[in-house]
Amino acid sequence: MSEANITEIGKEFYHIKSSEADFHRNIYLKRFIGEDGSRVNILFDPGTKLDTPQLTAALKRLIGGTNNVNLIFLSHQDPDVASNTHVVLANAPRAIIVTSIDTFRLVKMYGIPEKNFFLIENVKNDILQIQKTKHKVQFVPAYFCHFKGAMMFYDFESKILFSGDFLGGVNTRKGDGIYANEESFHGISLFHQIYMPANQAIRETVNRISMLNPAPEIIAPQHGDIIRGPLVSEFLAKISKLDVGIDISKKELTQKDLTMLVINTFIDSLKEKHPQLHSTLIDEIKTTGDFTTVFVVANETIIELKTTSEDALANLWKLVEKVTPDDALTDVKTELAETLDNFGMTLPAGIFETAATDSDFSAVEPDNPFNL
């Protein structure tokens, strides 16, 4: 792992980023150092076996090796965050896993001895002091976001909240780096629409975060970009209003059915007019983003949308633009425009702003469905 993959984001709080382009993992390490020089090292969501070589190198550099890990905090049990736990324990057998009871019930199935677990619900106070170094930390529930026993961890020294999957996102921000900008919220909203069960769970988690004193200056999620500065309060406010999961299902069942009909009609038209492009697009729809894809496909037909109709159309166009040769793009745009218009629908505003020209839409009527 290059040094570029390790960043100190707060006092003795380090970020280790995996290399995936679309949906990377964030592993964190906090070094608690007491006034007398005593040390306690805590590792947050150690990831998967795929992360072992990079993680081992990072831990060697930061704390002298995996054997010096004292605590492992697990936000929840998913394999992308927890499956590497027993690998870490093989090198640090006395390390204690700090997690919720619900997470413990599943993670222990990796064959981890119960004596290695510290269950958060067994303590009376959410705020604890690390006896060896005298630092204070706080456990913050994120129930049902997206797991019943999901937990977050607040470090008072750095004012960093490790949030697990909450406020995590797929990668939609352009450019390098690890910190969020305004573009990052699209990836956050997409991830939450797919994986969070209901807005009520989100609001309750936001309320718990708002009660932290002092307020966190940085939110460090397990996926996506690290949120800091004014974006902390801005993104918390925006996420609290987001419809997700069952909210979308209730509100958009009819709209989703119509959107799937439009998308499938458009795809069928490509099969007749641009067969090679049709095949390439179907492959891209099936594979893009792996398990974070917004489409569920059976054979060559979209059978389910895992996000809102608006986001589904926006993502469809991004895929079309990605796989369509330049000399065919105008025809394909026109085909999609006409298909949408036939069903009384439009694409979300702004999709063509960066690429569109007047000549691109010469075949579309003045009141075209792209509102250009």
Query: Tens digits of per-residue pLDDT, 178-221?
Result: 999 999 999 999 999 999 999 999 999 999 999 999 999 999 99
User: Domain 3-242 class?
Assistant: alpha beta
d(CA 49, CA 83): 7
pLDDT digits (tens, 9 = 90+) for 61-119: 999 999 999 999 999 999 999 999 999 999 999 999 999 999 999 999 999 999 999 99
CB 120 within 8 A of CB 49: no
Q: Residue 264, Cα to own-chain centre: how many angstroms?
A: 28
Q: What is the DSSP string of 306-327?
A: SS-HHHHHHHHHHHHHHHS-HH
Q: Which residues contact 78 (CB under 8 A, 6 or more apart)?
A: 147, 165
Per-residue pLDDT tens over the stretch 151-180: 999 999 999 999 999 999 999 898 889 999
Element (H, E) at 195: helix 184-195
Neighbours of 199 (CB within 10 A): 19
Q: Which residue has the tokens 């060697």?
A: 60
pLDDT tens, residue by residue, 328-359: 988 898 888 888 887 778 766 665 544 333 33
Which part of the chain is CATH 3.60.15.10?
3-242
Q: What is the crossing angle of helices 184-195 and 245-273, to 10°?
A: 110
